[in-house]
C-alpha cells in the first residue's frame, strides 16, 4: 500500500484540566482536529504523513503547542505563526460520571485567521494531500468568506481524487445561531466522502427525534460512506448494506470522555484508509475510544 498524506485542519488550544477541588490545574494541549491527527499518526505509523494545519502565535505557549504536536510524529509544516495573536485556551472539569464541562477563551485566537490573509498560499497548498479532515469546530472558527473559498477549492480537490472527511462536532457557543450552524454543517455533508457524525450532536442541532431520522437526513444530504457515532452503543454504518453486524465491548471504566469522538475518528480512519474494511474500522475506533475515556485528558499516554 502506498503512503498516505492526510491533513487535519483545526485549532490547537492550551488545555487546563482542573482538579476536583478546583484549586489546581494541569496544562496540556488539545483540540478536536489535533487530537484526531495524533491518534491517526499513532495508528498509521511513520510510513504515512499526518499534518496538522492551523495557526498559532509566537509566544511560549504556542512553542509548547508546536513541540507537543511534533513529538507525536505529526507534521507541523502547515502550522503557521501569527505575529501578535495567541492560541485559544480552555478549562475542563469532569463530574463523577466522567462527563465534562468547559470554559473557553478563544474568540481572538490566532487559528481564526488561518487562510484569511490574501498573502498566503490559500488552500491550494494542501492539494498534494490524499485526505482532508475537518470538523464543525474547524468550520465555526473560520469566517464565511474563508469557508466559501474552501468549498471552491474542495470541488477540484475531490475531482482529482482527494477525499474529504467531516465530523459534525457541534459546539453551540461557536456559532451565531442554529440556523447558520445547520446551513454550514449541511453544506459540509453535501461535500464529504467519509462522514463521522455523532448522534447527540446531530439531534441537538437538527432536532431529529431518533437515530433513524438522523441517518435518513444524512442520506438525503448525499452522505453514503461513514458511521454514526453512538457512544457506548457503538457506531452504526450510514449505509446499512455495507457491513454485517458488529459487537462492541463496553468500556471498563469511564474517567473522562474528552476526545472520545476524536480518538474514534483516528482509530477508525487509520484502519479504514489502509484496509477498506468498514466493520474492522468501526471496531478499531470504538476500542480506542474506550481506552481513551479511561484516562484524564484528551491524549492518553502511549
What is the reported pLDDT for 24?
84
Share of the chain above pLDDT 70, in %: 94
What is the reported pLDDT for 250?
84
- Taking CA atoms, 179 is separated from 10, 183, 184, 189, 216, in Å, by 22, 6, 9, 15, 20
Question: Per-residue pLDDT for 191 more than 70?
Answer: yes
What is the reported pLDDT for 118?
66
Q: Which CATH class is domain 5-292?
A: alpha beta
The model's pTM = 0.93
More confident call, 22 vs 79: 79
As a whole number of angstroms, the distance between CA 139 and CA 146 comes to 9
Q: At what angle do helices 260-275 and 32-44 cross, to 10 degrees?
A: 40
As a whole number of angstroms, the distance between CA 248 and CA 264 comes to 13
* Stretch (H or E) spanning 159: helix 144-159
- Taking CA atoms, 78 is separated from 88, 131, 289, in Å, by 18, 15, 27
Catalytic residue IDs: 262
Question: Per-residue pLDDT for 278 more than 90?
Answer: yes
Residue 245 — very low, low, confident or very high, per pLDDT cuts 50/70/90? Answer: low
* Lowest-confidence segment of 9-13, 24-28, 109-113, 262-266 by average pLDDT: 24-28
Residue 278, beta-bridge partner list:
none
What is the reported pLDDT for 70?
97
Residue 15 — very low, low, confident or very high, per pLDDT cuts 50/70/90? Answer: confident
Q: DSSP code of 86?
A: -
Query: Domain boundaries in the chain?
Result: 5-292
What is the reported pLDDT for 252?
86
For residues 146 and 116, the answer to whether their CB atoms sit within 8 Å is yes
Amino acid at each position: 500500500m502506498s503512503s498516505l498524506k492526510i491533513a487535519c485542519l483545526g485549532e490547537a488550544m492550551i488545555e487546563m484540566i482542573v482538579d476536583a477541588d478546583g484549586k489546581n490545574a494541569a496544562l496540556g494541549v488539545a483540540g478536536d482536529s489535533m487530537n484526531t491527527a495524533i491518534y491517526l499518526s499513532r495508528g498509521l505509523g511513520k510510513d504515512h504523513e499526518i499534518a496538522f494545519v492551523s495557526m498559532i502565535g509566537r509566544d511560549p505557549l504556542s512553542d509548547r503547542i508546536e513541540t507537543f504536536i511534533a513529538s507525536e510524529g505529526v507534521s507541523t509544516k502547515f502550522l503557521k505563526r501569527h505575529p501578535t495573536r495567541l492560541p485559544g485556551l480552555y478549562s475542563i472539569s469532569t463530574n463523577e460520571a466522567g462527563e465534562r464541562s468547559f470554559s473557553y477563551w478563544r474568540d481572538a485566537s490566532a487559528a481564526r485567521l488561518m487562510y484569511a490573509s490574501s498573502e498566503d498560499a490559500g488552500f491550494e497548498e494542501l492539494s498534494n494531500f490524499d485526505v482532508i479532515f475537518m470538523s464543525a469546530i474547524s468550520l465555526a472558527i473560520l469566517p464565511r468568506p474563508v469557508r466559501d473559498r474552501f468549498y471552491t477549492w474542495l470541488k477540484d480537490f475531490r475531482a482529482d481524487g482527494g477525499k474529504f472527511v467531516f465530523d459534525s462536532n457541534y459546539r453551540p457557543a461557536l456559532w451565531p445561531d442554529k440556523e447558520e450552524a445547520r446551513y454550514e454543517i449541511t453544506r459540509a455533508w453535501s461535500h464529504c466522502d467519509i462522514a463521522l457524525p455523532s448522534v447527540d450532536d446531530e439531534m441537538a442541532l437538527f432536532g431529529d427525534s431518533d437515530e433513524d431520522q438522523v441517518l435518513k437526513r444524512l442520506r438525503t444530504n448525499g452522505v453514503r460512506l461513514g458511521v454514526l457515532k453512538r457512544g457506548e452503543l457503538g457506531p452504526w454504518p450510514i449505509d446499512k448494506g455495507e457491513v454485517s453486524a458488529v459487537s462492541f465491548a463496553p468500556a471498563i471504566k469511564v474517567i473522562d470522555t474528552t476526545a472520545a469522538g476524536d480518538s474514534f475518528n483516528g482509530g477508525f480512519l487509520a484502519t479504514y484508509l489502509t484496509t477498506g474494511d468498514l466493520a474492522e474500522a468501526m471496531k478499531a475506533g470504538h476500542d480506542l475510544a474506550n481506552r481513551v475515556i479511561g484516562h484524564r485528558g484528551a491524549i492518553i499516554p502511549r
